[in-house]
Amino acid sequence: MAHTFEDLVKLEQAAEDARARLAHPDVDYDEQWEAWREAAGIFQTAVTKHAEAEGKPRVDVEMAVKKAVRHAEG
C-alpha cells in the first residue's frame, strides 16, 4: 500500500521521536535504539513505495518529508 505524504510525515515524526528518546537517562538505550531503528526502517520503506507509486525520485520525497517535519518542529 502506498502511503500519502501526510502518512510519511507521521512516520518520520515517529522515528524522530524515537531518536529523541535516546537522550533520556531513564530509558534502556539498547531497547530504545532498536525502536528508533525499526521506526526509521518503516519510514524508509514507506518513502520508497510512495516514490515509486508517484513516479518521483525517492530522494526528493524523503527530503520533502524531512523538511515538513523539521519545519513543523519550529
3-state helix, strand, coil in the chain (%, to 5): 80, 0, 20
List, for residues 41-60, the tens digit of each pLDDT value. Answer: 999 999 999 999 999 999 99
Tell me which residue of 63, 74, 73, 55 sits closest to 8, measured CA to CA. 63
Check residue 1 and give its pLDDT.
61
- How confident is the model at residue 7, as a pLDDT? 97
Q: For position 74, what pLDDT does the model report?
A: 57
The pLDDT of residue 46: 97
Q: Which residues of the chain have pLDDT under 70?
A: 1, 73-74
pTM as predicted: 0.89
Q: What is the C-alpha separation between 13 and 74, in angstroms, rounded?
A: 13
